[in-house]
A and B are shown apart, each in its own frame.
Chain A
Amino acid sequence: GEDVEQSLFLSVREGDSSVINCTYTDSSSTYLYWYKQEPGAGLQLLTYIFSNMDMKQDQRLTVLLNKKDKHLSLRIADTQTGDSAIYFCAESALDSGGGADGLTFGKGTHLIIQP
């Protein structure tokens, strides 16, 4: 079945760039997502990338996709204390289900910001 893997923790200094990595197994993955979860809150979609793209940039966020290696990364430039959260990688495949497709999530990476 589909699987999404992430490392559990990442510690960075405030002001540095954070790079959170994710690997997935489903070759039919069409959409790949990054969600952010702050304590006590739900999952907030940060960005997503379509599988025919290599890169997507949105302000401080850069998503890189290596489809051959099934590797996705999220780079947060100039990391701030407010970026401290759990970041989930997720994927879905385009099939007859279309918009009703459930997402397959990784376990989440805890981003820890050091002052």
Chain B
Amino acid sequence: EPEVTQTPSHQVTQMGQEVILRCVPISNHLYFYWYRQILGQKVEFLVSFYNNEISEKSEIFDDQFSVERPDGSNFTLKIRSTKLEDSAMYFCASSDWEEGELGNEQFFGPGTRLTVL
């Protein structure tokens, strides 16, 4: 069964460093998402991406964050200068939603745990 994969599973970085979290969405999906979950908190939406551009982003997704689909398979989240409060589990998701279709099943990856020291 196709699945969303994410690498690395755990990333440790120093405050102020740049990190890139990688995701490989399901191959025929067209919508891609990033979410994060700070320990003990809710899963929060960060950004959605469609047709090579950002479709929607939350207040959390400030100028420190960027997303990219550098090739036909990867979808990346870059945090330019990490802060302590960026420590969280980051989930990638993808969807093959089509206009007019009921429901939007987003398939999630296992997550990357980011620890900022």
Q: Inside 8 A of B56's CB, which chain A residues have their CB?
A: 97, 100-102
Known: A40-B110, A43-B43, A100-B48. 17 other contacts (CB 8 A): A42-B109, A44-B108, A88-B43, A97-B55, A98-B97, A99-B95, A99-B98, A99-B99, A99-B101, A100-B49, A100-B55, A101-B56, A102-B47, A102-B48, A102-B56, A103-B35, A105-B35
Chain B 91-113 interface mask (CB, 8 Å, partner A; 1/0): 10101011101111111111100
* B:22-61 near A, CB below 8 Å: 31, 33, 35, 41-50, 55-56, 58
B86 to A: closest C-beta gap in Å? 18
- Give the number of residues in B that approach A within 8 Å (Cβ atoms): 34
Task: State in angstroms the CA–CA spacing of A72 and B98 once bound together.
Answer: 25
Q: Inside 8 A of B106's CB, which chain A residues have their CB?
A: 45, 103
Chain A 29-43 interface mask (CB, 8 Å, partner B; 1/0): 001010100001111
Q: Inside 8 A of A50's CB, which chain B residues have their CB?
A: 102-103
Chain B contact residues, CB within 8 Å of chain A: 4, 31, 33, 35, 41-50, 55-56, 58, 91, 93, 95, 97-99, 101-111
A104 at the interface (CB under 8 A from B): yes
14 A-B pairs (CB sep. < 8 Å): A4-B42, A42-B91, A42-B108, A42-B109, A43-B43, A50-B102, A90-B43, A99-B98, A101-B48, A101-B104, A102-B48, A103-B35, A105-B35, A105-B43
Which size bracket describes the interface of A in this complex? Answer: 20 to 34
Of the candidates A48, A92, A100, A107, the one whose C-beta lies within 8 Å of that of B42 is A107
